[in-house]
Amino acid sequence: MTTFAKLASVTLISGLAMLSGAAGASAGESAAYHIKPLKGITFAVGSKRAVGYYTNDDHACRLTLMLSDAYSGNEKSFSEPVRVNLTIGEGASGSVDALEGSAVFRCAPDATAMTMQLVQRVAYNAAAK
C-alpha cells in the first residue's frame, strides 16, 4: 500500500468516525442499524473493514464505502483499499459481499434513511460418505 493510500484511508476513517451518529458493528451481530444521510458508518465483515456514508438524491440512496483489509501495524496489506458506490432506489435493497459475509442496505421511502444489516456466512461442509 502506498503512503498516499495509507494517509487517505486514515484520514477518511478518522473523519467519518468523528461524525455524530456513527455506527459500529461486527459481522457476528444481526441487528439492523439505522443510518441518516451524511452520517458516517464503520463496520466489519469478516476480515474486511468498511467506512462510508450515504446521500439522498432523486428518491434514491447513494452509498459510498471504502473497503480494506484490517490494519495490523507492521504487516503489509494483501490488497489495496477499494471505493464502492451503490445507488439504491427508495424501498429497494442492495448488498456488499465479502468472503465471510455480507452487508445488506435498505433504502427507506423518499430516501430519508437507510438500514444496514450484517449477515455472517458459515461454510457448509458435507460429510463424505
Protein fold of 3-120: Tick-borne Encephalitis virus Glycoprotein; domain 1 (2.60.98)
* Residue 63: predicted pLDDT: 97
Phi-psi region of 6 (alpha: psi -120 to 50; beta: other; left: phi over 0): alpha
**Residue ranges covered by each domain of the chain:** 3-120
* Residue 80: predicted pLDDT: 87
Identify the residue whose cell numbers are 439505522. Answer: 34
d(CA 95, CA 106): 9
* Residue 125: predicted pLDDT: 64
C-alpha dihedral sign at 50, 53, 58, 59: positive
Among candidate residues 105, 5, 106, the one with its CA nearest the CA of residue 45: 105
* Residue 51: predicted pLDDT: 96
Among candidate residues 55, 69, 66, the one with its CA nearest the CA of residue 15: 66
- The pLDDT averaged over each successive group of 10 residues in the chain (129 residues) is 52 43 47 92 89 95 93 77 95 91 94 93 64
The β-bridge partners of 33 are: 116
> What's the whole-model pTM score?
0.69
* Residue 33: predicted pLDDT: 92
Identify the residue whose cell numbers are 446521500. Answer: 55
| Contacts of 18 by beta carbon, 8 Å cutoff, 6+ apart | 40
